[in-house]
Amino acid sequence: MTDKTAGPAMTAGNFRQLAKNGIGDPANAYVHGMGWYEGRLYCGMTRNSFKLLKLFPPIDPPALDPWPVDVPPKVQDLDMQGQIWRWTPETDEWEMAYRSPMIPGKHGEPAPRDLGYRGMTVFQGKSDEKPMLYASTMSTVLRGCAAHVLRSEDGLNFEPACEPGIGNDNISTFRELVAFDGYLYAPPAGEGIQFNSNRTGVLMRSNDPKPGNWEVACDLGFGDPTNNGIFMMTVANGQLYAGTFNNYEGYQIWTTPPCGDGPLQWRKVIDKGAYRGPLSEIAMGMVEFNGALYVGSSIQNGGYDRTNLVGPAAGEVIRIWPDGSWDLLIGNPRETPDGMKYPLSGIGPGFDNIFSGYTWRMCVHDGWLYTTTFDWSVFLQYAHRPSPTAKKLLNGLSYEHLAEVGGGFEMWRTKDGVNWMPVTINGMNNPYNYGGRTMVSTPKGLAVGTANVFGGKSPAKFASRWEYVENPDGGTEVFLGDPSHVPYVPPAPEKDPNKKVDIAATGATGYIGRHLVPELLKAGYSMRLLTLPGTTGDIPPHENLEVIEGTLDDVDKLEQLVDGAGIVLHMAARLAGACTLEDLRETNVEGTHALIRACSGQKALKRFVFCSSVAAYQNQFTEKEWPIHESHALRVDGGHDLADYGMTKIGGENLVRHYGKKDGYDHAILRFALVYGIGDPMVDPMVRSNAPEPDFGKGEGGVQPRQFVHIDDTVEAIMRACFHEGARNETFNVAGPDVISYRDMGRMTRINIGKASPDDMEPERTRVWRRYVQQYDVSKGKNKMGFYPSVPFAEGLRQIIEQAQSEGKLPIAPQTAGATTFGADVYRADFAQKSQPDVVNDDSAEQDNSVTSVG
């Protein structure tokens, strides 16, 4: 479904890192509370979380050996004073705005009043002269005092706006602060050493927090003794919603309309974890989006509540309409009292990730709903008793591979609740960022704060031992997403007296060239292009552009092309199947040879960039060979189109290396996977014509994994190869961040256009493991030239589909708002005959490697 109101879609490449290593203090482990106040971004920090967990373990602590962080002998050795940092956009600088004071402790030693700041919001009470910044705290009731709600008018001075615990000395934390109908609401969410549940499941509110006027706003546990507290709140469609923690039957969602100063009129709209039961123990992420309330579920302690024997399981996502009807969006199909519910997205729990214990945060920004997760796979390397599922996965993958491909939190986005695209599946390229803990939409972009407890020293594995060393990727990080931010900006052109033109290029009218050339011209580079006769008109004129008509067998034209060029970029090639084998070799080998010979003696030439192909690899479709890296065996065969094409590319590569060394200039070789995007010659027409058909992707060939690369990533890789020092005399694989099958392509297309079948809606179990498959290893490009492919296939597919929809070539899916059993009559009989066990509940209580976490 196209949405004209949504802004530009953001991928991981649109997020820049505002801070790392705990904003200069590695002990800062969580950005818990986050708010935008008077033009600045505020981040409330919780410190040394995992060190504290080791010193004060729960009843059933996680079996981790070695412990993930180096822990001192006693808590007094830790600086536990919570901090609030703020970022000023105009200077792009951080400062510590506030630090928890020390107070007289209960045992005769000073103690920090606040361990951290779990929630933030802007609110104006009756006694406030203007909107104020309010923050909720985490405290240790064992050493210090109960938790507070703090108030600040300048972002620097924070004062209590309530008595400790709002009258309950056992309250260890308040979670979200929500403004509604003239009141500020604060739910007590922890008790004693517990930070997620409490026996005092009430909601407090105040219309004038400055003098501390607070009152109870609901019955204890909404009258249900199985509720362990109110975990999350938000405002949606003019109503206040509250989600509970219930390890007995699953979370509940309660709502009330505005009631002024009178008693609130609470009613229950969701029960028993949306009928998933305790596996949806907590309503953790909640936000209004496009007229509905979206709710993400979780199980405490990282997805496995060992205290209450719940899990392990990954989180789901539902949406609730104002009339109380609801849809299952991410999760497992099931019968409910409201009819058959199936995931409208076709995606299983945890976004098909068994390690996503939380659907942690939700935030609306520029017409898109963004969701982050908690992913505990980073702890597998220390797990003493990993679960059967984790063992099965790691038997086929090294931990290092798992961490690079899928370790770290995930962020997904949608603009209709049905079609979801991953933004990152590896913690913004840092597996130690195991949680996307908080988000806030700001005028400067979407701010994201992570959970990362690995600041300071964490274990590193040597040949025969573990040793604690400084972790450069440890400590919480903050990112800012902005569509105007691009992952790579080419350097300014260098001046050289021998140079007549910055870049000489072939293949400029091809699919890649049509996207690359405008970017290089926009960056200020002068270009000279060789185009086939009759194609000059296909290139828009530009003051820094010279076009020569000719072919690769015209020596004079080639010498004219490269004369005084600083960089020569060779993209021109013929594809197998479109010409005879002789013509293929004539263009791809002899033509490359002729271009390189023309470069001899060119004093200005610094680098020759050659566009090769992954077709150069032997056995590339044999999964036992994957992931294929740059030193993998090259083709020695021929006789079919792909092999013949690959062999001609190997010939070109060898020529580039030989002459570069002989004539004294650098080279960079890029082996591209299949390049796709709007208007590409293969995937685009396939999506428009074939993928909508119900049988597309069926059969053995439909499950064959493919690792395409989006045109945007392709352009970035070429620019980095042209200018990055790390690309000097190197060969790189260039492929996308994820692997899909044709079955995936068909399923996603049909869901997007409203033509899904029952099979499309049922989560596919193999995706749990296939998410870690990589056909081509792209780690060398990451390490050498900083190239991180950022456009997942789902995003590229969305672009193609929406372009086709705008042209009337594909249908637009109908709205599903308010349809309580949308499609139920079609799917009820199909799903009623199927057993639908939770995809990650097969571990039962055997799992002992999940982590205890403060949510």
How far apart are the C-alpha atoms of 160 and 149, rounded to whole Å?
Answer: 6
What is the rounded end-to-end Cα distance, in angstroms, of the chain? Answer: 34
Q: What pLDDT shows up at residue 764?
A: 81
Instruction: For residue range 727-774, list pLDDT tens digits in order.
Output: 999 999 999 999 999 999 999 999 999 999 888 888 887 777 788 888
Q: What pLDDT shows up at residue 1?
A: 39
Q: What is the DSSP code (8-state) at residue 455?
A: -
Q: Which residue, chain included where needed, has tokens 């050996």?
A: 65
Instruction: Answer whether residue 58 shows pLDDT above 90.
Output: no
- ∠ CA(189), CA(326), CA(279), 5° rounding? 50
Q: What pLDDT shows up at residue 855?
A: 60
Q: What pLDDT shows up at residue 796?
A: 97
Instruction: For residue range 384-424, list pLDDT tens digits in order.
Output: 766 677 777 777 777 888 888 889 999 999 999 999 999 99
Number of helices (H) and strands (E), helices first, in the chain? 19, 45
Bridge partners, residue 439, by sequence: 448
Give the pLDDT band of residue 72 (cuts 50, 70, 90).
Answer: very high
For 384, the token pair is: 């003493």
Can you tell me whether residue 840 is helix, strand or coil? coil
Q: What pLDDT shows up at residue 834?
A: 32
Instruction: Answer whether residue 817 shows pLDDT above 50.
Output: no
Q: What pLDDT shows up at residue 822?
A: 37
Give the pLDDT band of residue 852 (cuts 50, 70, 90).
Answer: very low
How far apart are the C-alpha atoms of 508 and 271, rounded to whole Å?
Answer: 59
Q: What pLDDT shows up at residue 815?
A: 63
10 Å CB burial of residue 715 (0-12, 13-18, 19+) is buried
Q: What pLDDT shows up at residue 198?
A: 61
Instruction: Answer whether residue 848 shows pLDDT above 70.
Output: no
How far apart are the C-alpha atoms of 779 and 592, rounded to whole Å?
Answer: 28
Percent of the chain predicted with pLDDT > 70: 93
Q: What is the average pLDDT across 814-826?
A: 43
Q: What is the average pLDDT across 16-36?
A: 95
Q: What pLDDT shows up at residue 767?
A: 78
Q: What pLDDT shows up at residue 442?
A: 98
Give the pLDDT band of residue 535 (cuts 50, 70, 90).
Answer: confident
Instruction: Answer whether residue 318 shows pLDDT above 90.
Output: yes
Give the pLDDT band of residue 229 (cuts 50, 70, 90).
Answer: confident
Q: What pLDDT shows up at residue 196?
A: 64
Q: What is the average pLDDT across 583-604?
A: 94
How far apart are the C-alpha atoms of 309 and 244, rounded to whole Å?
Answer: 18
For 118, the token pair is: 């779990």
Q: What is the average pLDDT across 73-94?
A: 94
Torsion 202-206-212-216 (CA) sign: negative
Q: What pLDDT shows up at residue 839?
A: 33
The answer to whether 138 touches 116, Cβ cutoff 8 Å, is yes
The DSSP string of 169-219 is TTEEEE---EEETTEEEE-EEEETTBSS--S----EEEEETTTTEEEE-S-
Q: What pLDDT shows up at residue 524?
A: 96
Give the pLDDT band of residue 795 (cuts 50, 70, 90).
Answer: very high
Q: What pLDDT shows up at residue 830?
A: 35
Give the pLDDT band of residue 168 (cuts 50, 70, 90).
Answer: confident
Region of poorest pLDDT, from 101-110, 699-708, 812-821: 812-821
Q: What pLDDT shows up at residue 640?
A: 79
Instruction: Answer whether residue 491 shows pLDDT above 90.
Output: yes
Q: What pLDDT shows up at residue 55?
A: 83
- Average confidence score pLDDT of the chain: 89
Helix (H) / strand (E) containing 335: strand 334-336
Give the pLDDT band of residue 40 (cuts 50, 70, 90).
Answer: very high
Instruction: Answer whether residue 850 shows pLDDT above 60.
Output: no
Q: What pLDDT shows up at residue 825?
A: 34
Can you tell me whether residue 521 is helix, strand or coil? helix
Sheet with strand 253-256: strands edge to edge: 230-236, 239-244, 253-256, 267-270
Q: What is the average pLDDT across 107-123?
A: 92
Give the pLDDT band of residue 841 (cuts 50, 70, 90).
Answer: very low
Instruction: For residue range 601-648, list pLDDT tens digits in order.
Output: 999 999 999 999 999 998 888 888 899 999 999 988 877 788 899 999
Instruction: Answer whether residue 838 shows pLDDT above 60.
Output: no
Q: Which residue, 435, 417, 426, 415, is CA-closest to 365? A: 415
